[in-house]
Amino acid sequence: MGQTGLSIQKRHPIGYYFLSQTKSLGVTIMKALQSVIEAYQIRRQFPYFQPHPEMRSLIYLDNAATTQKPYAVIEAVSHFWAYHNANVHRGAYGVGAKASEMYESARARVAQFLNASNPNEIVFTRGTTESINLVAYSWGMSQIREGDEIIVSEMEHHANLIPWLQVAQAKGARLVVWRITDDGRLNLDDLRNLLSERTRLVAITHISNVLGTVNPVQAICEMAHFAGALCLVDAAQSIAHMPVDVQAIGCDFLAFSGHKTYGPTGIGVLYARYELLQSIPPFLTGGGMIRSVDWDGAQWADPPAKFEAGTPPIGEAIGLHAALDFIDTIGREAIEAYEHELTQYTLQRLQEVPGLRLYGPQPDRAGIFAFTLEDIHPHDIATVLDNFDIAIRSGHHCAHPLGDRLGVPSTARASIGIYNDTEHIDALIEALHKVRKVFGYA
């Protein structure tokens, strides 16, 4: 780059992303034009979308896999490594105190972002996967008994499925599957029939990473509680795209990853009600998580330290703090509204491609579009699109049981982020027409 992110950041001051809400402009073309301008202003906050000798200009539509990072995040991380690096909660010297303060400030920021009642309800992990494994091994392995039931939906990512399979197998418990409807939704009446006094947990994704279905997590948690069960929400796909309020949802556990939130990899969050964190055993043990230890045993530190054995991802937590600031500067309601419009536009345009089969509900859904096109292999679709500098994903998207249900082991998947706009979707549609031609469809 030749210069630090800080100087670049200063040349692109924040605060002018959304010119105004588009509601008063009735004319569709004006809306489209305005959304292009807004997304362009946001792209200027990302080095990934700037001209650079090492970069080819790319239309990035793989946001459900990971998001790009704004200068603000890259700068916050490099500033920490450059000037404030020290281990946390250990050194008595000033730099260590500053690092601890920054790390704890990131925790407080996450608590505020989720509307948790207390920063001590926030445990830093490496990602959604580790957060859910923490719950499975600490809560699940200690609380689940033979004959208990754990409900998971048919649309779960493997991260919210395999840990529960492990617990069920180890404890002689039963994994109960909440099937999806033919249009890719979950029916609350079906859940009512699955819940019983044997149910201990409902583990549910907020937004499906394949179908784009937005699940009514608040109602699901309420029903789980009514049956005397707990509720875990996998917020990996919702956290950067809509407001997520743990108190409004009423969940007992909620997990997300920094890297799908315009933040760094290697950092994730587990939110859990404080009493739960107090009552369950630690997951990993080692330094930093004990109050006292002798040859007879150890006393655990209070949560969240009890669940953060070893040196945590400090710089990554600070990067996550910057990412949440970035998101809130735009505004989560504004992001949700903008992406909703872009989603509607995308749904409409995808219909123009002959032989394209889109999975998941319509029109109320998130901006994740898994599809097949004629009999073309999804990997071939993605490869041809890559030649047109459009990045999408193909494969099973870590949801094998869902693929079985849909009858397609593999799909192509485009997914939007805050920097995408209608021009990107136009390019995608045009390229899909070309994919058809390449594979001999008239």
Write the binding mask 248 to 277 for ligand PLP: x where contact by CB under 6 A, - elsewhere.
---------x-x------------------
Which residue, chain included where needed, has tokens 């995308």?
Answer: 346
Q: Which of 35, 205, 261, 394 binds ligand PLP (CB under 6 A)?
A: 205
Q: How far is CA 129 from the centre of its chain?
A: 11
Query: What's the farthest any 2 CA atoms get from each other in the chain?
Result: 76
The residue range among 72-80, 125-133, 282-290, 313-321 that interacts with ligand PLP, by the rule CB under 6 A, is 125-133
Whichever of 34 and 166 has its CB closer to ligand PLP, that residue is 166
Cβ atoms of 287 and 72 closer than 8 Å: no
Q: Does 209 bind ligand PLP (CB under 6 A)?
A: yes
Amino acid sitting at position 389: D
Q: Does 133 bind ligand PLP (CB under 6 A)?
A: no
Strands (E), 1-69: 59-60
Whichever of 129 and 420 has its CB closer to ligand PLP, that residue is 129
Q: Which of 79, 157, 306, 321 binds ligand PLP (CB under 6 A)?
A: 157
Cβ atoms of 314 and 106 closer than 8 Å: no
In this structure, what is the dihedral angle of CA atoms 50, 51, 57, 59, given to the nearest 10 degrees? Answer: 10
Q: Does 129 bind ligand PLP (CB under 6 A)?
A: yes
Q: Which of 127, 250, 360, 403 binds ligand PLP (CB under 6 A)?
A: 127
Q: Does 237 bind ligand PLP (CB under 6 A)?
A: yes
| Tokens (6 digits) for 260 | 């799908």
Q: How far is the CB of 164 from ligand PLP (least distance, A)?
A: 13
The residue range among 135-143, 164-172, 174-182, 233-241 that interacts with ligand PLP, by the rule CB under 6 A, is 233-241
The residue range among 5-13, 127-135, 271-279, 371-379 that interacts with ligand PLP, by the rule CB under 6 A, is 127-135
Whichever of 237 and 346 has its CB closer to ligand PLP, that residue is 237
Q: Does 422 bind ligand PLP (CB under 6 A)?
A: no
Amino acid sitting at position 200: R
Peptide bond just before 282 cis, omega within 30 deg: no
Which residue, chain included where needed, has tokens 């004959």?
Answer: 147
Q: Does 153 bind ligand PLP (CB under 6 A)?
A: no
Dihedral sign from CA coordinates of 116, 122, 128, 132: negative
| Tokens (6 digits) for 195 | 């819940």
DSSP, res 62? B
Q: How many chain residues touch ligand PLP (CB under 6 A)? A: 14
Q: Does 123 bind ligand PLP (CB under 6 A)?
A: no
Q: Does 67 bind ligand PLP (CB under 6 A)?
A: no
Amino acid sitting at position 375: D
Catalytic residue among 221, 231, 251, 398: 398
Q: Does 159 bind ligand PLP (CB under 6 A)?
A: yes
Q: Does 125 bind ligand PLP (CB under 6 A)?
A: no
Cβ atoms of 388 and 146 closer than 8 Å: no
Tell me how far CA of residue 299 lies from CA of 212, 274, 287, 352, in angstroms: 44, 18, 12, 63
| Tokens (6 digits) for 187 | 């029916």
> How far is residue 269's CA from residue 135's CA, in Å, rounded to a whole number?
12
Q: How far is the CB of 137 from ligand PLP (least distance, A)?
A: 15
- Beta pairing, strands 149-153 & 122-125: unpaired
Q: Does 238 bind ligand PLP (CB under 6 A)?
A: no
Count Cα atoms within 13 angstroms, Cβ side, for 397: 35
Amino acid sitting at position 147: G
231 catalytic residue (yes or no) = no
Q: How far is the CB of 306 from ligand PLP (least distance, A)?
A: 21
Q: Which of 128, 153, 199, 411 binds ligand PLP (CB under 6 A)?
A: 128
Enzyme catalytic residues:
398
Q: What does the binding site for ligand PLP look like in residue numbers (CB under 6 A)?
A: 64, 127-129, 157, 159-160, 205, 209, 234, 236-237, 257, 259
